[in-house]
Structure 1
Amino acid sequence: MPNAVQCKPIPALYTVYILRSTVRHASLYIGSTPNPRRRLSQHNGLVRGGAARTSRHSLRPWEMVALVSGFPSATAALKFEWALTNPHISVHIPSEARLTISTQTKANGQPRRPSKSLASVVSNLHLLLRVPSFGRWPLRVHFFSRDVFAVWEKWCAAASERLRPSLGVVTDFGNGAGGGLGSVVSVEDPGEGLATAQEGAGGQPWGIHALPLDYEPIKDYVAKGREIFEFERQGRCVMCREDMPSGEGLHALCTNDGCDGAGHVSCWSRHFVGDGATDDIVPVQGQCPKCKGEVHWGVMMKELTLRVRGQKDVEKLLKRKRKRARKKPAPASSAASP
């Protein structure tokens, strides 16, 4: 089984979500899925599946009020989900930093999981996004409810430690409570809008329905990588200037449009992190030596694993859709000769 997992590319989407009952807001549920739309339908009993804890009709319908995306694998998402569900015993949280403490024990002597509240889930989410285990992953936080985002903003303002600036926080309230447009906001200043996201007006999809479930957002980047590496146009490494023979080692490509800067993965990593200058070993982002543009490590690795391990996914993504041939009108039947 581990070999099968290692042979897969980084998934197009994998999320850890927070579910809330629309009937009883105090009822919360945390789960993980590659398809939030389908999963929500399962929790609400519209599709087979779901979880026993969300099957009570008195709590339905449920809504996804927030989620975290950008996990490099299903296993990574499950680890984050478990830590967020069990912050009182998670080994990913140092004892001195733990926000949730168990005060009761089960019959077997193990700590009993404390009851969840929106404030406790949000505060532990903020904590997990900055611990060493997850702090440098290419994650993004999405909020689909104004009141939940307000709790997040309040905690961010009160927290003694900030999240890394490159971690994106996306709001998309659509036609839901409060209305309004979606936007990407900076974690350094949660109230400052930086870019417009999916609009919710005019019948456009919003929230989880606007999240892409496939690799379409990086289609042009994947096409660029295929053209460069299939035709062996990678040339020399933009960092070490050594040749990069095709099929020898792992080579990654600049994520910026119009730039064909390529290099060894090890060189990109050292370039982003530095040669022993810090204790960080997982790159986050950096500057391309060729185009001087900002490069995101997570996007770069997604394209690399897709190119190396996901040939079928690449073919499907880049396959040109055939135009349907118009049916020729049937010839008019000639009138019978008198």
Structure 2
Amino acid sequence: MNEDKYVVEGLYGVYLLYCTNPEYEGRTYIGYTVDPNRRIKQHNRGTHSGGARRTNNRGPWEMVLLVYGFPNDISALGFEWAWQHPDRSRRLRHVTKKKHHEKMYDFHLRVLSEMLRVGPWNRLALTIRWLKQEFAREFPSDLSPPRHMPIAYGPVISKKIGQSQGTTSQTSVQDDDKCLCYFCYEVVCQSEKITCISPGCLLAAHVICLAKVFRKGSFIIAVEGRCPECDAHILWGDLVRKMRGCYSNLTSSGTDSRAHCD
């Protein structure tokens, strides 16, 4: 019931999912949301309901942890990206790689512990909330969150600023509609986003950022190049045609179809 849930107004959150399906148990997923209750339903219902490709048909999933208190979506998306890619974040170069016998769940929590103690995140008024207490872990004494970041327990309800209490927030924009550019790490709007043609590749970037790479400094316009994510050789015209919706299932010979995280 709503009375048992903590109401958060103007929520921008980054969450950790845990898979309880025996076939995939232990798998994890990190994402961004403005409405945790709606988002977990989307993940468990599948991509046709707005869920992510990586969680599709692998549920049920539990949203076990939520970090919120970010001032805006850009701040939250930056945190999400760094948590997903600690090896590529310049702020997390000191974090050791996943150990051979370390479970991915434990690794994500270790990375989170480090993130909360470095700038710019250590200056934010964040809350770390265990939505499912049975999954809660104690932070190591030497990696505890800053004292101004409370650790809370229990479910939440997201409420728009000025919205009457008792109703959850609704928005016409899906959480996954926003992402960070592969090159400049700024938010990419749908109208500015260009993606790779390779099946399974999750590259997303501003058109102008990818065009600069494909131009290689020697062409007036972009002609061809390699995807920085999957290394597939691509013609610029094919990328533009996909962006404009001229076709939906373009594949190219020699494409590296490795599975990537959603």
Q: 2:103 and 2:120 mapped to 1: Cα distance?
A: 22
Listed as ranges, the matches of 1:102-251 within 5 Å are 117-149=104-136, 151=137, 153=138, 156=139, 158-172=140-154, 207=155, 210-215=156-161
Amino acid at match of 2:20: T
Map 1:20-99 onto structure 2 (within 5 A).
20-23=18-21, 24-45=24-45, 48-55=49-56, 57=57, 59-93=58-92, 95=93, 97-99=94-96
In structure 2, do the counterparts of structure 1 residues 54 and 161 end up closer, same or farther at CA, with 3 Å as the change threshold? closer
Q: Deviations over 1:267-304 (max 9, x none)?
A: xxxxxxxxxxxxxxxxxxxxxxxxxxxxxxxxxxxxxx
Shift of 1:120: 0.6
Q: Tell me, in whole angstroms, the C-alpha distance in 2 between the residues paired with 1:32 and 1:161.
A: 23
C-alpha separation between the residues in 2 aligned to 1:49 and 1:161? 35
**How far 1:61 sits from its partner (Å)?**
1.5
- Work out the CA distance in 1 between the residues paired with 2:96 and 2:135: 19
Match of 2:45, SS state, is coil
Q: Deviations over 1:114-136 (max 9, x none)?
A: x9611111111111111112001
**For residues 21 and 161 of structure 1, do their structure 2 counterparts lie closer, same or farther at Cα, with a shift above 3 Å needed?**
closer
Structure 2 Cα separation of the partners of residues 216 and 25 of structure 1: 40
Would the aligned equivalents of 2:35 and 2:158 in 1 still touch at CA under 8 Å? no
Over the aligned positions, Cα root-mean-square deviation in angstroms equals 2.8
Report how many residues are paired: 154
Indicate the SS of the match to 2:90: coil
TM-score by length of 1: 0.41
Which residue of structure 2 aligns with residue 12 of structure 1?
10
Q: What code does the residue aligned with 1:51 have? A: A
> What SS does the corresponding residue of 2:65 show, helix, strand or coil?
strand
Partners of 1:162 and 1:143 lie apart in 2 by: 15
Q: 1:100 deviation in Å? A: 2.3
Gaps of 5+ in 1: 1-10, 104-114, 173-206, 220-338
Distance 2:37 2:62 in 1: 10
Whether contact under 8 Å (2:116, 2:122) holds in the other structure is yes
Which structure has the greater CA radius of gyration? 1
User: Partner of 2:222 in structure 1?
Assistant: none
The DSSP-based 3-state class of the residue aligned with 1:123 is helix
SS in 1 for 2:119: coil
User: CA 1:213–1:127 in 2, change beyond 3 Å: closer, same or farther?
Assistant: same
1:48-72 CA distance string (max 9 Å, x none): 21111011x2x21111011101111
CA contact (8 A) 1:88 1:102 kept: no
Cα deviation digits, residues 127-172 of structure 1 (max 9, x gap): 11111120010110110223421x3x1xx2x342432211111111
The percentage of aligned residue pairs carrying the same residue is 31
Amino acid aligned to 1:77: A
Q: In 2 relative to 1, CA 40–217 (structure 1 residues): closer, same or farther, beyond 3 Å?
A: same
Residue by residue over 1:7-47, the C-alpha shift from the partner in whole angstroms, topping out at 9 and shown as x without a partner, is: xxxx8111100011121331100000111111111111177
User: Is the 1:15–1:33 contact (alpha carbons within 8 Å) kept by the matching residues of 2?
Assistant: yes
Q: 3-state DSSP class of the match of 2:123?
A: coil
Q: Secondary structure at the match of 1:135?
A: helix
Does the 8 A contact of 1:18 with 1:66 survive in 2?
Answer: yes
* SS class of match (1:76): helix
Q: Which structure has the highest strand share of the two?
A: 2
**AA in 1 matched with 2:41:** S
